[in-house]
Amino acid sequence: MEVIGKSVIRKDALDKVTGRAKYTHDFQSIPMLSGKMVISPYGHAKIVSIDTTDAWEIPGVRAILAGEHFPLTGEAIRDRPPLAVDKVRYHGEAVALVVADTPRIAKKAADLIRIQYELLPVVNSPTQAFQKDATLVHEHLGEYKKEEDSTPVPNSNIANHIKIRKGNMDQGWAKSTTVVEASFSFSPSDHVAMEPRCARAEIKHDGNIIIMTSSQAPFMVKRLIADYFGEEIGKIVVHTPYVGGGYGGKAPVQLEILAYLASKAVGGKPVEILNTREEDLISSPCHIGLDATVRLGADQNGKFHAAEISYWWDGGAYSDKAIDVTRSGAADCTGPYQIEHVWCDSYCMYTNHTYASPYRGFSHSELSFVIERTIDMLAQKLNIDPLEIRDINAIRPGNRTPTRVLLNRSNVGNLPKCIERVKELIRWDKGAILEVNPRFVRVKGVSTSWKTSTIDTDAPSGAILTFNRDGSINLMSGVIEIGTGTKTILAQILAERLKIDLDKIHVKMEVDTQTTPEHWKTVASRGTFMAGRAVLKAADDVIKQLKNIAAIVLRAPVEDLEVADSRVFLRDEPYTGVPFTDICYGYKYPNGESIGGQIIGRGNYILRNLTHMDQETGAGKPGPEWSVAAYAVEVEFDRRDYTYQILQACSVVDLGKVLNEKTALGQVMGAMNMGLAFAGRETFFYDELGRVMNPQLRTYRPLRYGEHPKYLVGFVETPQLDGPYGARGVGELGLMGMPGALGNALSLAAGVNLNNLPLTPELIWKAKGGSQ
Amino acid sequence: MTGQTKGRGTLKSFTISLTINGEEKMVPVMASDTLLFVIRHHLGLTGAKPSCLNGDCGACTVHIDGRPMKSCLMLAVEAAGKKVTTIEGLQGTPIQQAFIEKFAFQCGYCTPGFIMNCQALVEKHPDADDQTIKEWLSSNICRCTSYAEIEEAVKSVLKKK
């Protein structure tokens, strides 16, 4: 391995440290109209009237969209009007849209639109939504167009219900001598990408629709806009430059729809909509919340035999991607443990909250908190060491997942090894509790997680390679550079396969859906796996073409040729060869005659052998492989006021193969940072009207510099045989176990079960009975 | 001076002189324009980023006479006569190189603001201790990295000083 595994400097590094990296809102060469939303101030209310008279008085206002019935949108169920009509279903929902000459004018006019509301009862949690007589968020749920495998229940708030029925529960409970049962709950929160979402659209006279957007899914933007509005798909071109963070939040299609409608309303002129931070938090889709109950049974040796799990996901006002989150949460409902008898109901619930989008981990960090807390409660009851009980039950080759996929050495990582490494890194042998003094105690908590990526069974990825005359190569992939460094990894994969210097590879960072081959969506840790496979195939295609032309020039059969160091040469006589520069644009004989042409490589990949899950039992193969990780967190807890400091956080991840060590470390540590913030402090606070009380970064506080712990990261390398060089996805794993590990540490420290998030001192105080 | 009177209030536009990255520029501004808006929209310098527009995140940090300033919290007219430096004005500094080598960026959106803050810190407090570094850098938010990478980058430059 020449380049694989090396911490090569990222291809986007210089752009990013010099301020030259351009994001959607940075392209300012063409004059743009500005779109401004008017958003709902309430969680649930009837729209009585919308008065735009005063807004129209402002010079420079070009269009106002409100009260119009546009086609319904939404990925799995078409339940979402682009602009609310008749009623609003969440605080932050777009009700009207002003298009004006400048952002200032648009804002001023938007402020002058007068909307009268009549308040409706608010559905403020998924548990409340599930009650028999609950207020309905959607009265006409049965009438929406939907995908076949979505199962909304008309006249209820259930948007989807996924079932897992594995084994025989009676047998499972019979074998269980110890059973624990617990309930869990946490509210929605947010991704808080530093770049607020931004979308612009222009409709040209020939009907071509040009969109630029800060999206993780430009190809989905193209597909859905065509689908929703009956546009010709080939006429839609979506550009995505660098994206300033996504974490799943930029995978849904939302602002693009509004920008398209806005442009349409002004004769196709270009219109830009840039979210304010407040809009980005509450108006665009957020991080899903969850209510859950678990019953887990084990024998006296700590072996799990039965699990009965109910998940009520807080999908918010519209189902969109929450349907798939619900399915994913069911597919991996138990966490990475071998449990023979499993019964799970996973419900996607409508509430009057901001609707949910994917969030790094796609249901797995949320369910991991639930499962890992339950396991600690069980371990305590059985008086078994928390790491030991996890090791006893850790999923292994030969086991079957809740959807009954048979696991082998390739399609699941090595969890026992991850647990073993965590044990060493966190110095578990020194004990979980260390008394500092009567006031302070240092406590460790552990957890594990797993994930398979349940994306579309036919999700594609493609790569194109073109040569420059100097023998260097342009690499085009539909993966978005959202910060993960995947495009640098792809260059490394290409360099390794072609045995070429990495500097000879030029990576196109911007994606446009017309000239870049499709990568389904830059989500689910699938960039390296799928695009990597496509790049390998494209590299092989290039090698074949290079050899074909070199065979003629060198008068040797192709099977005698090798490719390395930017030349093709005879295997047995390496000094006899031809450089890329002589053949990559065709070969020219001394007399001027030429053969060949520019070498253009192509490669594609499509997920294989995935199936839909059975509607009654959940059986099916929802994802290609299960990556695993183990975690620990050490806190110093203040018994006086229940504040705490996170001293150390540890993750050991089986990533198959390290492709770029520092990038991998960055992915894991960055995810841990985000996971600790989700676990310890981030949440939306709702009032009785369903209003988010903290839609700002001074009241909704991510971790800041200096609040970060010491990070301990370890890698295990169990190759996924069909992954590029054996690599597995790595972008989400660091996050997923943090809530569980922190929850377990603090529960032990405080001496009380903490089954809610975020784990604030106030929450601990309440759990200790402080409010009474 | 041009004026436009409509609705409730008057929108007046002035021309002011700004010294940006060592160059003097005449820029048309309105009284209520923030410095961030003007450097991005009138001067085309898009390195400083809009993110919270509320002083909470630091993505728009620039230098005013060598001190870090959130340009979303400062009016453009307040910058007249002062020396403004944006990320575009930093070329090949040790802190930029350290950010590259320590992988102290990922999506890159907070990076210009972070680097401007770090650069001012390095200049003002070459002997900064952990507490001082924390006081300075906690004004910016990075959502991708773990901060440990940024810590390593800034400390590697401080050590060399």
> Which residues on A lie below 8 Å from B143 (Cβ)?
191-194, 245, 247, 674, 702
Task: For B99, name the nearest residue in chain A, comparing CA atoms only.
Answer: A17
Buried b (16+ CB within 10 A) or exposed e, A142-161: eebebeeebbbeeebbbbbb
Residue A543 identity (one-letter amino acid):
I
Residues B12 and B78 both lie in one domain: yes
Given an 8 Å threshold on Cβ–Cβ distance, is A705 in contact with B137? Answer: yes
Which are the contacts of A427, defined by CB distance < 8 A and separation ≥ 6? none
CB contact set of A183 (below 8 Å; sequence gap of 6+): A291, A292, A293, A755
* A455 three-state secondary structure: coil
Note whether A232 and B87 are within 8 A (CB). Answer: no
- Cβ distance A483 to B107 less than 8 Å, yes or no, reads yes
pLDDT of residue A612: 94
In whole angstroms, what is the distance from residue A626 CA to residue A624 CA? 7
Tokens standing for residue A23: 């994001």
Q: What is the distance of C-alpha A223 from the center of its chain?
A: 20
- What is the identity of the amino acid at A255? L
What pLDDT was estimated at residue A2?
A: 84
Q: How far apart are CA A154 and CA A306, in angstroms?
A: 32
- Same domain? For B122 and B146 the reply is yes
E-state strands within A590-661: 594-598, 600-606, 627-638, 644-654
Give the type of residue at A479. V
Answer yes or no: are the C-beta atoms of B40 and B57 closer than 8 Å: no
B128 and B63 share one domain: no
Residues of chain A with confidence (pLDDT) below 70: 29, 771-772
Q: B residues 99-138 near A, CB within 8 Å?
A: 99-101, 103, 105-112, 115, 133-134, 137-138
pLDDT digits (tens, 9 = 90+) for A279-314: 999 999 999 999 999 999 999 999 999 999 999 999
Give the ipTM of the model, two decimals please: 0.96
DSSP state of A530: I
Question: Residue for token digits 């402090």?
Answer: A681
For residues A319 and A350, what is the distance between their CA atoms, to the nearest angstrom? Answer: 7
Measured between beta carbons, the chain A residues lying within 8 angstroms of B106 are 245, 483-485, 666, 670
Please tell me the distance from the alpha carbon of residue B48 to that of residue B68, in angstroms, as a whole number: 12
Verify that B140 and B100 share a domain, yes or no: yes
Q: At what angle do helices B111-124 and B94-101 cross, to 10 degrees?
A: 130
pLDDT at residue number B3: 37
User: Which runs of consecutive H residues, i.e. helices, occur in A383-511?
Assistant: 386-393, 415-425, 486-498
Radius of gyration of chain B (CA): 17
| CATH number for the domain harbouring residue B80 | 3.10.20.30
CATH topology of domain A286-455+610-767: Aldehyde Oxidoreductase; domain 4 (3.30.365)
Write the CATH number of the domain with boundaries A459-606. Answer: 3.30.365.10
Tally the domains of chain B. Answer: 2
User: Is the CB of residue B46 less than 8 Å away from at least one CB of chain A?
Assistant: yes
φ, ψ dihedrals at A651, nearest 5° = -130, 135
Mention every residue, 6+ apart, whose C-beta is less than 8 A from residue A486. Answer: A479, A522, A527, A528, A531
- Intrachain domains A286-455+610-767 and A459-606 with the same fold: yes
**Residues of A with Cβ-Cβ distance to B121 under 8 angstroms:** none
Q: Chain B within 8 Å of A483 (Cβ-Cβ)?
A: yes
Residues B35 and B94 in one domain: no
Superfamily of domain A15-120+195-244+250-282: Aldehyde oxidase/xanthine dehydrogenase, a/b hammerhead (3.90.1170.50)
Q: Does A553 reach chain B within 8 Å, measured CB to CB?
A: no
B79 and B103 share a domain? no
Task: Tell which A residues from 261 to 290 touch B, by Cβ distance under 8 Å.
Answer: 274, 276-277
CB A249 within 8 A of CB A359: yes
Taking residue A278's Cβ as centre, other Cβ atoms within 10 Å add up to 19
Residues B13 and B61 in one domain: yes
Q: Is A305 helix (H, G, I), strand (E, B) or coil?
A: strand
Residues in Cβ contact with B9 at an 8 Å cutoff, skipping those fewer than 6 apart: none
**CB contact residues (below 8 A), chain A span 643-672, against chain B:** 662-663, 665-666, 669-670, 672
CATH number of residue B96's parent domain: 1.10.150.120
Question: Would the CB atoms of A706 and B109 count as touching at under 8 Å?
Answer: no
Give the pairing type, strands A710-716 and A644-654: parallel
Torsion sign (Cα): A391, A394, A397, A398: positive
Q: Which of B45, B67, B86 marks a domain boundary?
A: B86
Dihedral of the alpha carbons of A411, A417, A422, A428, in degrees to the nearest 10: 140
User: Which A residues, 86 through 145, put their C-beta within 8 Å of a C-beta on chain B?
Assistant: 104, 108
Residue A528 DSSP one-character state: I
| Last residue of one domain, picked from the residues B67, B86, B105 | B86
Yes or no, beta carbons of A662 and B103 under 8 Å apart: yes
pLDDT the model gives residue B6: 41
In chain A, domain spans? 15-120+195-244+250-282, 286-455+610-767, 459-606
Same domain? For B123 and B153 the reply is yes
Helix A386-393 vs helix A364-382: crossing angle, to nearest 10: 110
Sign of the torsion angle spanned by Cα atoms A244, A247, A249, A250: positive
- Write out chain B residues lying below 8 Å of A196, CB-based: 50-51
Whole-number Å distance between alpha carbons of A473 and A601: 10
Task: Give me the residue from A28, A666, A702 closest to B44, CB to CB.
Answer: A28
Question: What residues have CB less than 8 Å from A563, skipping those under 6 apart?
Answer: A498, A499, A543, A546, A547
Same domain, B82 and B99: no
Residue A635 to residue A652: CA distance in whole angstroms: 18
Same domain assignment for residues B52 and B112? no
Domain span at residue B127 reads: 90-160
User: Among B65, B86, B107, where does a domain finish?
Assistant: B86
- In chain A, which residue's Cα lies nearest the Cα of B150? A705
Is there a single domain that holds both residue B13 and residue B48? yes
What pLDDT, in 10s, does the model give residues A508-524?
999 999 999 999 999 98
B161 touches chain A (CB under 8 A): no
| CA of residue B95 relative to chain centroid, distance | 15
Domain co-membership, B12 together with B64: yes
User: What local confidence, expressed as pLDDT, does residue B11 receive?
Assistant: 66
Q: Give the pLDDT band (50/70/90) at residue B161.
A: low
Structure tokens at A186: 């946490």
